[in-house]
Every structure is written in structure tokens, then in C-alpha cells.
Structure 1
Amino acid sequence: MSALAVAGTWLWLGMVLAISFLEAPLKFRAPGVDLRTGLAIGRLVFRALNTAEAVLAVVVVVGLVAARPGGGVLAAAAAAIGLLVLQLVAVRPRLARRTATVLAGHDGPRSTAHLWYVALEVLKAAALVVLGVALLA
């Protein structure tokens, strides 16, 4: 299998695990980090993560085109990429609006967008594990 697709997949998974499941929740536990500061940091970090994810998705696709893998590999790659697109198109704009409201000093209704983002992130991480294992098989 393509070393490019393998490397891109595992790097992508590592970044998602490190940022989404480690950095994001921990930043709110740091002394002196209030909600507004945490959201401002999170907005920057997740913009960078999502950009890196998009680049890595392209790397994976290029590697898969070169390798011409079977259907299982293609399905896992499509799932991971589709979940990323869903996060970026359907969930991130809602999160951005809520973050902008809080950063402007206004209170508003709580959003369920964060829960949707986390659920999609768990599914995307699972798809990346399946893809990475399938690429190594």
C-alpha cells in the first residue's frame, strides 16, 4: 500500500487525538483560563487543525490514487473525509457564531453544535483507525 496514504492517515489521526481529545478539554482546566479565553484559543487551534486535516485528506487521496486499494480502504477513507467535510460545512459555522457571541461579551442560548462536533470527531477518529489498519494489512 502507498506509504504516503499510510503516513497521512496516522499523522491525521494523531493530530485529531492530540488536539480534540487532549488539548481542547485540558485548556479549560488551566489556571486563569476562563470561557472567553479558552474559546479564543480554541478558535485558533481548531482553524489550524482543520486546515492541516484538509491537507492530510488530500495527501491520503493522492496516496490512494497511486495505490489503487480495495473497497474497504476506500470506504474508510471516504468516511473520514466525509465526516471532516460535515464538520466543516455543517457544524463549524454554528460553533463560530456561538464563539463570536461569547467573545463579544453576550450571553446567548447554549448550542448543541459542540456535542455534534465531538460525536463526528469520535466517528472520524474511528474511521481513521480503520483506514490506517486496513492500509497496513
Structure 2
Amino acid sequence: MMGTAHATAVAVVFVWLGMVLAISFLEAPLKFRAPGVTLQVGLGIGRLVFRALNTVEVVLAAILLAAFAFDPPRTTAMVAVGVAVVMLAGQLAIRPALNRRSDAVLAAPDGTDPGGRSRAHYGYVALELVKVPALLVGGIALLA
């Protein structure tokens, strides 16, 4: 029988996974295809959405760590969730560089992109591409 802490961990991992998939891989790229959404508007929306997502992710990670303290999971689940938490920490470290770059685009009088996507953006996406399978593996391991 699954205890409360364990059930909470399962729910949190899959909520976290769903949020990342919905926002990073659905909302983020699609908003730029909407009629009338300029680069400046899209970046403004993206900054708000990703700041909120990262805040919720930190809360979810804290809940997971607390749940693991009460009911430690198998090693596979702990390592996978640990990888996801480390990826999130990396993304939080990259956010200031992304904010500086989006500030420059938002300040451009013609709203043009001053040089394509930044390395920081690619780094953020790369960390997201590691975080998603880590959460999936962690969730499945918690269910096993």
C-alpha cells in the first residue's frame, strides 16, 4: 500500500512533468505562430510564463524532497528526480543571461532580434531535454 508521502511524490512528479511539457514544448513555440504576436510580445509573455513555471517547479521540487525525507523511494527514483532538480538549478542559473538578452530585444526600437537565439537559450532547452526524461523515469520508478 502506498503511503501519503509516496503518493504525494508520484502526483508531484507527474504534475511537474505535465507542466514542463505543456509550457516548454507546446506554449512556448506556438505563441510565436499566433497572429499579431511580435517577437517583443512573445518574449514578454515568455518571461512571465517561465518565471511562473520556474517558481512552481522550485515549490514542486521542495515538496518532492520533503516527501522523500518521509518515505525514501528506490534509488532509481531518487537519482532520476535528483537529475531533474539539478537541471532546474541549471536553468535558474541561466535565467539572468536570458533576461539580459530579452531586455535587449525588448529595448530595440524596431523590435528586431539582435542576433538569433543565444547560447543561453540553447542551454536552457538542453537542460529541459534532460529534465523531461528524468521526471518520466522518476515517476515510473515511483510507481513500480
Query: Does TM, normalized by the shorter one, top 0.5?
Result: yes
> What secondary structure sits across from 1:113 in the alignment?
helix
Matches within 5 A, 1:3-82: 3-82=7-86
The residue aligned with 1:115 is 122
Take 2:14 and 2:73, find their aligned partners in 1: how far apart are those partners? 17
Paired residue type of 2:114: G
Paired residue type of 2:135: L
Take 2:99 and 2:88, find their aligned partners in 1: how far apart are those partners? 16
Q: Which runs of 5+ in 1 are unaligned?
A: none
Take 2:16 and 2:30, find their aligned partners in 1: how far apart are those partners? 20
User: Which has the higher Rg, Structure 1 or Structure 2?
Assistant: 2
* TM-score normalised by the chain length of structure 1: 0.94
Take 2:43 and 2:72, find their aligned partners in 1: how far apart are those partners? 41
Matches within 5 A, 1:78-93: 78-89=82-93, 91-93=94-96
For each residue in 1:80-124, what CA deviation from the matched residue of structure 2 results, as whole angstroms up to 9, or x when unmatched? Answer: 0000000101x2111111000011116534412111111110110
Q: Where has structure 1 moved over 3 Å in runs of 4 or more?
A: 106-110
Moved more, 113-122 or 101-110: 101-110
Aligned counterpart in structure 2 of residue 132 of structure 1, from 120, 126, 139: 139
CA RMSD in angstroms comes to 1.2
Aligned counterpart in structure 1 of residue 103 of structure 2, from 88, 100, 105: 100
Alignment: residue pair count:
136
Take 1:68 and 1:20, find their aligned partners in 2: how far apart are those partners? 29
How far apart are 1:70 and its partner, in Å?
Answer: 2.3
